[in-house]
Chain A
Amino acid sequence: MNFFLLSLIKAAVVAFVLLTTLAYLQWVERKVIAHIQVRMGPSRVGPHGLLQPLADVIKLITKEDLIPPYVNKLLYLAAPFFAVTMALLSISVIPFGAEIHVFGGTTWMQLADLNIGILFVLAVSSVSVYGIALAGWASNNKYSLMGGLRSSAQMISYELPLSMAVAAPLLLANTLSLRHIVEGQAGYYLGFIPRWSVIQTPMPQIFSFIIFLIAAFAETNRVPFDLPEAENELVAGFHTEYSSMKFASFFMAEYSNMVTVCSITTTLFLGGWLPLWPASAGSNFVPATVFVLAGAVALYHGLNPARRMDRLTLPVVAVVFFLIAVIFLIPALQGALLPLFWFAAKTGALLFLFIWIRGTLPRFRYDQLMAFAWKFMFPVAVLNLLVTGLMVALFS
Chain B
Amino acid sequence: MQLWLIPVFPLAGFLLNGVFGRRFSKAAVNAIAIGSVLLSFCWVVKTLLGLGDLNAAHTEQYFTWIQSGSLNIGWDFTVDRLTAVMLLVVTGVGSLIHIYSIGYMAHEGGYYRFFAYLNLFMFFMLTLVLAANYLVMFVGWEGVGLCSYLLIGFYFDKKFATDAGNKAFIVNRIGDFGFSLAMFLIVVNFGSLDFGTVFTSVTGKSEATLTAIAFLLLVGACGKSAQIPLYVWLPDAMAGPTPVSALIHAATMVTAGVYMVARSAAIYTHAPAAMEAVAIIGLATAFFAATIGLAQNDIKKVFAYSTVSQLGYMFLGAGVGAFSAGIYHLVTHAFFKALLFLGAGSVIHALGGEQDVRNMGGLRKKIPWTFWTMICASVAIAGVPPFAGFYSKDAILAAADQHAPWMYWVGVITAGMTAFYVFRAIFLAFFGEYRGKAHPHESPLAMIGPLVVLAALSLAGGKLFNIPEFLAPLFPLAKETGDIGPVIISVAFGFAGIGLAALFYLFKPGLPDQIVATFGGLYKLVYNKYFVDEIYDAVVVNPVVGGSREVLWKGVDAAIIDGAVNGVGSQARGIGGVLKRLQSGNIRSYAAWVLLGSVVLLLVMGVMGGLR
Physical contact A–B (CB less than 8 Å): no
Residues of A within 8 A of B (CB): none
Chain B positions near chain A (C-beta within 8 angstroms): none
